[in-house]
Amino acid sequence: MQTILSVSELSKTYDSRFQALKRINLDIRRGEIFALLGPNGAGKTTLISIICGIVKASEGSVRVDGHDIVADYRAARAMIGLVPQELTTDAFESVWATVSFSRGLFGKPANPAHIEKVLRDLSLWEKKDNKIITLSGGMKRRLLIAKALSHEPEILFLDEPTAGVDVNLRRDMWQLVRSLQASGVTIILTTHYIDEAEEMADRIGVISKGELILVDDKAELMRKLGKKQMTLQLQTPLPLLPPALAAYQLELASDGNELIYTFDAQGERTGIVALLEDLNDAGIVFKDLHTTQSSLEDIFVSLMKEAK
């Protein structure tokens, strides 16, 4: 697939001598939704800020559709829309004026029809003449998205787009992101909500302490790192585990009514057949069983533990 954004050997050391990014290499594919996951202070915003021209890189380079972000900043930046993490807006401007301003700033001639469409898509049309200060937090977030979309960018950065947004609005936001993707926009978002990445992303990157520790297709990631669990509902509760089954590292749950077996879905052998035979030999009878797969959240938590 075609690369639209290419980050190579990018490092950032702030004036405070703090190294926020360490030799990041990352290629974003045209048209994908890429989720950047990482704990607070990992360097997500720093990475986005460098790509967008707000922070200077210490080393390395970034190309946007072949345009270097320093040497050829006009072409590079014209392609990018940015929705920042912080809700930074002018208080006294009207919604319409501020969105139109953004379009002009990015070098596009006025186009009221496009601005209207963007505002309608974000349910801000009714508010178009309101002063920004009168908007709620969620509306301001959408306003920042409208500003970023005002100049028809090909790449959209969303730095924690759903922070402080209620559940319904979050679903609307996801919907919007999908429809943007359908219209050909490449989307890079950061989030703390892992279900959000799980729900939307095509690929996921995990960043921790300034290092990109993993980049993979979401499905691949879940397949590779996902653990499966099998839960057996017992006929009669078991007070404790028979020593004969120690090798399986089983857990007893629900006051001895459930046995939980965790196995690696990718392993050569899952051990299920052997377990069932051994259970039979031990005279343990179960009435039901089901398996579950670990969520991205579990994967993420275990990755973070490893990184520490």
The pairs formed by 196-200 with CB atoms below 8 angstroms and a separation of 24 or more are 196/35, 196/162, 196/170, 197/35, 197/37, 197/296, 198/222, 198/295, 198/296, 198/297, 199/174, 200/33, 200/35, 200/174
Backbone angles phi, psi at 285, to 5 degrees: -105, 135
Alpha-carbon distance of 297 to 42, in angstroms, equals 17
Closest CB to ligand ATP: residue number: 45
| Min separation Cβ 88 and another protein, Å | 3
- Residue 157's nearest CA partner among 139, 145, 143 is 145
Site for another protein in 23-52 (CB under 8 A): 52
- Residue 38's nearest CA partner among 267, 228, 149, 193 is 193
The binding track of 61-90 with respect to Mg ion, each residue x by CB under 5 A or -, is ------------------------x-----
**For another protein, which stretch binds (CB under 8 A), given 54-62, 173-181, 208-216, 274-282?**
54-62
Q: Pick one of Mg ion, another protein, ligand ATP, none as the site partner of residue 41 (Cβ within 5 to 8 A by kind).
A: ligand ATP
Does the protein bind another protein through residue 241 (CB under 8 A)? Answer: no
Q: Under DSSP, is residue 89 helix (H, G, I), strand (E, B) or coil?
A: coil
Q: Pick one of Mg ion, ligand ATP, another protein, none as the site partner of residue 273 (Cβ within 5 to 8 A by kind).
A: none
Residue with Cβ nearer Mg ion (158 or 275):
158
Does the protein bind another protein through residue 276 (CB under 8 A)? Answer: no
Alpha-carbon distance of 103 to 98, in angstroms, equals 9
Residue for token digits 């209620």? 166
Task: Give me the residues paired with residue 61 across strands.
Answer: 8
Does the protein bind ligand ATP through residue 2 (CB under 6 A)? Answer: no
Q: Pick one of ligand ATP, Mg ion, another protein, none as the site partner of residue 38 (Cβ within 5 to 8 A by kind).
A: ligand ATP
Residue 199: both structure tokens together: 């729900």
The binding track of 67-96 with respect to another protein, each residue x by CB under 8 A or -, is ------xxxxxx-x-x-x-x-xxxxxx---
Residues in touch with ligand ATP (CB under 6 A): 14, 16, 18, 20, 38, 40-46, 85
Q: Which residues bind another protein (CB under 8 A)?
A: 14-15, 52-56, 73-78, 80, 82, 84, 86, 88-93, 97, 100-109, 147
